Structure 1
Amino acid sequence: MDPVIVVGAGPVGLALSLVLGSYGVNTVLLDGGGGEDEARQARTVVLRPDTAAFLERLGCGPVLREEGLRLAGWRAVRGAREAARADFADEAEAPLHIPQFALTRALRAALDERKCVEYVRDVRADALEAEPDGVILHTRPAQGGDGTWWRGSHLIGCDGARSTVRKLLGVRFAGRTAVERHAVAAIKAELRGRGEALLQRGGQRRGLGAEVSARPLPGGVWRLDWLLGDEDGLVTPEALLERIAATLAAWGVGDQPYQLLDTGVHTVHHRLARHFRRDRCFLAGDAAHLGGAIGTQQLEEGLRDARNLGWKLALSVQQPRTSEVLLESYETERRGAVARRLRAADQALPILRKGNLRGRGTAGLRLLRDGHLGEGELGGPDVYADSPLAPEPLPAHAVAVGTEWGAQVADVPVMPAEGGTAMLRERLGGVPLVVFLAPGTRYWDRSRLLGAGLMPKLAQAVAELPLPTDLLIAEEYPGATPHTVLVVRPDGVLTAALGGVQAEELYTCVDALRGGIRV
């Protein structure tokens, strides 16, 4: 069987290759560089807990724990007054802040364990041909020389904002340029509020600029971001040092010594590819969309692409009878989600950035909170409410739970039918899950678990499903009543919640995950 070709070995291309490799799908990963990244402390990413759990499953757990920091809280200050606050009492549900180079290095290290992934460095794509049953890509060595033709079953372009794959496919990349511009610095210092991220607004009189944020990293390292205005031209080293001094003085630590580790200027663009899919070719990450205004995280958006597309493409490759709807759902879900987020950011920007901010403080801080904390329309987890993979019509015994259908499931303790305990997110990434709500099961005799109550009926129904499926038992789930049955996609999306064991409806819900094709 021809491999899947992934072009681009940034975090999104690496993550997609790891997902495909975890399913045993042969993959060729083509890297336009040499596989090494500069250790830039000023380039970081904040990850939602579900995205961090996704990376844990890919083998990045040790690096996330060693080089990332779970935020203890978040404070927004307007002038000298605290205007908003969020504390993360549960560390597992706190955002994770990590340098991007450390994340990339962890993904590359995990890739070394995937024997079915061929990693080719220093090659650049320059031609693409489509065939009825595959794709053919031509590459040339980055340093010159003879080219190579690669044949694959599918192709995924993860090759960044200037994507060659997108251009070869003729896909438009419309949007806005320079929506925001930030000066960035990484410093090592002993600042107040360990583990807390800080957002300061309205500091123009002290030379801070309209907005400055500080996010901590392990070892006393902090990333500082200053929003630049239209009047700010070239950011010189001297001007950046003045900003650092003014910021530390405003925070009452002006006499605190610090070490400057890294600097940069980051420009945010808002662009969206007209298509995320053309036949057997796909776009993901920066090749498909650009965003990141108002504190939202563009890299995390690309990792959501990888989480969404990986299991669908693997299932399509390994089970040819899956419906075309399965692969079509990637564009429907992901392009729709990114478009909603970009639209929300574009609507929020006039409130935050234009004209007199007086009277807009409450609304502005709420929007900034959503973006910086990964909540609401700006930064919250995606909800694929209109997914083509949702059962249709709605099952007669459908029930509502604390998670909206099409959203990421909550992380609760579960017991696999074969024994042991785990968290629900730890069991994602393989086959679909069926989760049965049975209070008090921790006290049941494990040797008789599958023969008790409704378990025999449910186990029989799961055995007859059209896809391999894992059966899990949970004592509780937010908003769910006993004997509720949850159907969860491999990427953690809740597909259905049924009241009781309904074999026919359960079959329909799982069948929908492959596009609704009955054998």
Structure 2
Amino acid sequence: MDPVIIAGAGPVGLALALCLARHDVPSIVLDEHDHPPALSPERTAVLSPETAGLLVRLGHRRLYESGATWDAWRTLRRRQETVRVEFGDRASGGQGPSPLHIGQERLERGLRGALAEQALARIVPGARVEAVEQDERGVSVRTKGANATWWRGSYLIGCDGPRSTVRKLLGVRFPGRTAVDRHAVAALRVALPDEGVALLHREPPGPGAGPEVTARPLPDGVWRLDWLLPARGEPLTSDELVSRVRGTLTAWCGSVPPYELLGSAEYPVHQRLARRWRAGRVFLAGDAAHLMGALGAQGLEEGLRDADNLAWKLSLAWHHGASDTLLDSYQAERRGAVGARLRATDQVLPLLRTSGVWHTVRRSVLSGSARRYAELLTDGHLGRGALGAPPVYARSPLALPAPRGAGAAASASSAAAPSPLLGSCATPPGGAVFDVPVTALDGSRAHLYERLGRDLLVVLVAPGTGVWESRHWLTAGLMPRLAKAVAALPTRAELLVTEAYPGSTAHSVLLIRPDGHLVTVMTGCRPTELYAYADLARGGPPSAVQDRVPH
């Protein structure tokens, strides 16, 4: 079968190629540039622990270690601290793991390095998409530039940015709003108080800082500073930028400490959402499908989630064939999640700006709720709550109650509808799972996130197994029957054991998708129900007309 073609060699396209390689799917990455574009130090991304876990899987931890995690986050208004979040082990009083702050240049360089080690992936420089044709068997792509030719692939994914040629060739509309927010950003090498603590300062004291400034540490003593600017106005001059830098540093340090300006930029925040993310064998991902960024929302993080979601579905289609239900679920899940996040931002944003008519609205609506106001801002920057938490695919076609008679086991017995008496779990169906320690059947130990990205996972909660060698519990309790049930599933799955999972009791069985989202949790081993849910997770059996191109 032909490789998957990926248009665009930015972080999303590179990550998608790595995800596909993890599923043994070959890919060709078309890079319109003759060489990797020069990136600026001020271009960074903040990734949730769940998305940072994807980088660990793709880059063998090197990508993760090239970023910075924080000890804490502070939100201030004038000189008063309104919110403080301490990161770390919850058992020790922390609020969980820190986000990962990473420079986009380091991220892209790390992804390219990891991809260079993959025999299944190839980057083609100087190849800009010019035309796309698709038929029942695949996609043909014509490129111009140094590598002008026709390319043949099984699928095409447009990861070619906000001005996506692939999206335009498909005739997909890209509605939304321009310049929702405007920011100035600078990367400084400077020693600031509270090293390792990120800071959001509302209405900071001193001249020149503006209504809001954020400081987020990076490795090697570098900080990224962001200033909120009026949505419409003249671009900042270099003198005005230096004035903001000096005024902000003076407010925090009492005087201007020595600093080195490594890079700066001014950018507007756009909010746009493509009408369609799939057209037959062609898909959109990353900035080609959505633009976002207000209130700390990270478009790059959503792009990486796109790649993780799409890769395992394409791998099933590439290796075994897949139903339209499975392939359509990419748009249903990811467009739905991004759209919900954009709507939440639109609802909250007017309440968090302090000028004009919205200042009056904010005062009347949020009077006496200053802490909640600060918490909304904090959530947006830390990837929590409606403004940034990992999505829950509750309305996905892969998360509906399994239909009665769904699928048939290898023994030809029909699968009954799953029982409503499901197990308990702190993760809702469709939600992102927690990263707990797990043990494989060969006795090897790892964390759950390290096992994601290939097959379905079946995780048995079995307290006490950690103190015994696997040979002692492989033939005890539920294990023999559960191992047999997993071997009979309609798609490949790996059986793991964990000592505990939040909210689950002993003998709970979790079924987890390759992208780390929970399908269901059951109590005990019920093979027909486990089969029915696994069949549901793959979108049912491959369609008899799999090769047709839907309109």
Match of 1:153 in 2: 154
**1:106-505 superposed matches below 5 A:** 106-141=110-145, 147-203=148-204, 206-230=207-231, 232-320=233-321, 322-353=322-353, 354-356=358-360, 358=363, 359=367, 361-390=370-399, 391-393=401-403, 395-396=418-419, 397-505=421-529
Match of 1:31 in 2: 31
- Looking at structure 2, the residues matched to 155 and 302 of structure 1 have their Cα atoms a distance apart, in angstroms, of 16
Match of 2:413 in 1: none
Question: The residue matched to 1:369 in structure 2 has which SS?
Answer: helix
Q: Contact (CA 8 Å) 1:60, 1:103: kept in 2 or not?
A: no
Match of 1:514 in 2: 538
Matched letter for residue 392 of structure 1 = A
The alignment's TM-score, normalised by the length of structure 2, stands at 0.91
- Looking at structure 1, the residues matched to 450 and 200 of structure 2 have their Cα atoms a distance apart, in angstroms, of 33
Once the two structures are TM-superposed, the CA of residue 372 in structure 1 deviates from its matched residue by 0.6
Q: Which moved more, 1:387-396 or 1:413-422?
A: 387-396
- Looking at structure 2, the residues matched to 338 and 463 of structure 1 have their Cα atoms a distance apart, in angstroms, of 36
Q: CA distance change for structure 1 residues 438 and 60 in 2, over 3 Å: closer, same or farther?
A: closer
- Looking at structure 1, the residues matched to 179 and 436 of structure 2 have their Cα atoms a distance apart, in angstroms, of 41
Q: Contact (CA 8 Å) 1:204, 1:210: kept in 2 or not?
A: no
Once the two structures are TM-superposed, the CA of residue 253 in structure 1 deviates from its matched residue by 4.0
Q: Contact (CA 8 Å) 2:8, 2:32: kept in 1 or not?
A: yes
Question: The residue matched to 1:219 in structure 2 has which SS?
Answer: coil
Once the two structures are TM-superposed, the CA of residue 398 in structure 1 deviates from its matched residue by 1.6
Unpaired stretches in structure 1, ≥5 consecutive residues: none
Q: Which moved more, 1:385-394 or 1:267-276?
A: 385-394
Q: CA distance change for structure 1 residues 231 and 289 in 2, over 3 Å: closer, same or farther?
A: closer
Q: Deviations over 1:208-264 (max 9, x none)?
A: 111000000111110000000146421011000000111011113423111111110
Matched letter for residue 522 of structure 2 = L
Q: Which moved more, 1:435-444 or 1:490-499?
A: 435-444
Q: Contact (CA 8 Å) 1:60, 1:107: kept in 2 or not?
A: no
Q: Contact (CA 8 Å) 1:3, 1:25: kept in 2 or not?
A: yes
Match of 2:88 in 1: 89
Q: Contact (CA 8 Å) 1:21, 1:116: kept in 2 or not?
A: yes
- Looking at structure 1, the residues matched to 193 and 88 of structure 2 have their Cα atoms a distance apart, in angstroms, of 19
Matched letter for residue 126 of structure 1 = E
- Looking at structure 2, the residues matched to 47 and 231 of structure 1 have their Cα atoms a distance apart, in angstroms, of 29
Matched letter for residue 18 of structure 1 = L
**1:66-77 superposed matches below 5 A:** 67-77=66-76
Once the two structures are TM-superposed, the CA of residue 395 in structure 1 deviates from its matched residue by 2.2
Q: Contact (CA 8 Å) 1:37, 1:101: kept in 2 or not?
A: no
Matched letter for residue 367 of structure 1 = L
- Looking at structure 2, the residues matched to 301 and 32 of structure 1 have their Cα atoms a distance apart, in angstroms, of 23
Matched letter for residue 418 of structure 2 = P
The alignment's TM-score, normalised by the length of structure 1, stands at 0.96
Q: Percent identity?
A: 51
Once the two structures are TM-superposed, the CA of residue 39 in structure 1 deviates from its matched residue by 4.2
Match of 1:104 in 2: 108
- Looking at structure 2, the residues matched to 438 and 243 of structure 1 have their Cα atoms a distance apart, in angstroms, of 56
Q: Contact (CA 8 Å) 2:182, 2:268: kept in 1 or not?
A: yes
Matched, 1:48 2:48: yes
Q: Deviations over 1:116-139 (max 9, x none)?
A: 112100111111112122111110
- Looking at structure 2, the residues matched to 152 and 308 of structure 1 have their Cα atoms a distance apart, in angstroms, of 20
Unpaired stretches in structure 2, ≥5 consecutive residues: 404-416, 544-551
Once the two structures are TM-superposed, the CA of residue 461 in structure 1 deviates from its matched residue by 0.7
